[in-house]
Amino acid sequence: MKAVVQDRYGSADTLEFRDVDRPAPGAGEVLVRVHAASVNAYDWHFMRGDPLIGRGTMGLRRPRTPVRGRDFAGRVEALGAGVTGLEPGDEVYGEADGTFAEYVCARDAEVGPKPANLTFEEAAAMPLAGNTALIGLRDVARVRPGQAVLVNGASGGVGTFAVQLGKAYGAEVTAVCSTRNADLVRSLGADHVIDYTREDFTRGGRRYDVVLDLVGNHPLGALRRVLSPTGVLALSGGGVYEGGSVVGPMGLFLKRQVVAPFARGQRLLEISARQNKANLAALRELAEAGKISPVVERTYPLDEAAEAIRYLEVEHARAKVVVTV
């Protein structure tokens, strides 16, 4: 099968489009014929082996998983032993390493039926980003109707879902983005928009019940300044993180651990977005009810996946970029 393969860490130039063996599903796995796979910051961090501290799990000298890609949508090709509830031909979506390929093997626990009202491209845009937003707002911040929620990085992959989820949960949502993305986040339901090129939201006078930080470009003290006395700061690390290429988001998370015990009523929390069938089902139900809709900025064919990652990394892509297979 064709796949986008990487034998060493580096820029998008290290990615090669070539033939590799088609995987076979083991026990508890699903073989999926991939129709679309989306691009995430996850992909270029793994591509570059960044941050360095993460290479213990990514692979010390080269990527442990040579095929890039994490999200997918496609059709079930075959089932491994012990997998129930799915049949060959079923339309599915989910997460697995190595999705920039014609086929991928995914753990059954990270595969679910595709939302019926979404195309494969739209469905592929949802698992990782949608799940991060879902866990951040529903589980970590526990957003309630009437709360004031600020999303920093509102026009990105996770942010576009977070704005919609905040509104679905009945919150008043303030979106932080650049000038060119203001209309986009308003179209997703944002009640207020702060253009970060003109205004620093951490120096405004308003306070929020929840701050969802998806960028990591402000010190903890500045973020706490806009939190209500009992507010929640939910940190994901983001793509532009404090700590640089050595420790990455761990720098910000370590500071959170030091500061959190002294926060005096404010809660400073991290988002750990592990995928599962229940969350895929929740996202599917929200999509089919029209409460969330993936935004796909552009698509690339599989043999141009390197360009897709390069675009996400250097062009500040809005919403989601998708690779079609």
CATH number at residue 303: 3.90.180.10
In angstroms, the CA 268 to CA 88 distance is: 44
Whether residues 83 and 206 fall in one domain: no
What is the C-alpha to C-alpha distance for residues 245 and 48, in angstroms, rounded to an integer?
10
Domain of 157, in residue numbers: 129-270
**169 and 106, same structural domain?**
no
Return the SS3 of 213: strand
State how far the Cα of 15 lies from the Cα of 4, in Å rounded to an integer.
6
Cα 137 from Cα 168, distance rounded (Å): 11
pLDDT tens for the 325 residues of the chain, in order: 999 999 998 888 899 999 999 999 999 999 999 999 999 988 877 787 776 666 667 676 778 889 999 999 999 999 999 999 999 999 999 999 999 999 999 999 999 999 999 999 999 999 999 999 999 999 999 999 999 999 999 999 999 999 999 999 999 999 999 999 999 999 999 999 999 999 999 998 899 999 999 988 888 889 999 999 999 999 986 554 444 465 555 556 655 566 656 568 899 888 988 899 999 999 999 999 999 999 999 999 999 999 999 998 776 678 999 999 9
Does residue 141 share a domain with residue 120? no
Question: What is the pTM (predicted TM-score) of this model?
Answer: 0.92
Looking at the fold, whether 138 and 256 belong to one and the same domain comes out as yes
Residues 152 and 247 in one domain: yes
Residue 282, in any domain of the structure: no
pLDDT at 242: 42
| Claim to verify: residue 164 and residue 257 sit in the same structural domain | yes
In the β-sheet with 148-152, what is the strand arrangement from edge to edge? Answer: 192-195, 172-177, 148-152, 208-213, 227-235, 267-270
Residue 269: predicted pLDDT: 87
In a domain, 278, yes or no: no
**Contact, 137 vs 212, CB < 8 A?**
yes
Regarding whether 309 and 190 lie in a shared domain, the answer is: no
* DSSP H helical ranges for 157-216: 157-168, 182-187
Taking a C-beta distance cutoff of 8 angstroms, is the pair 198, 179 a contact? yes
Pair 24, 41 in one domain? yes
pLDDT of residue 258: 61
What are the start-end ranges of the E strands in 96-185? 103-107, 111-113, 148-152, 172-177
Instruction: Give the torsion sign (CA, 52, 53, 59, 60).
Output: positive
> CATH number for the domain including 263?
3.40.50.720
> Is 288 part of any domain?
no
Q: How many structural domains is the chain composed of?
A: 2
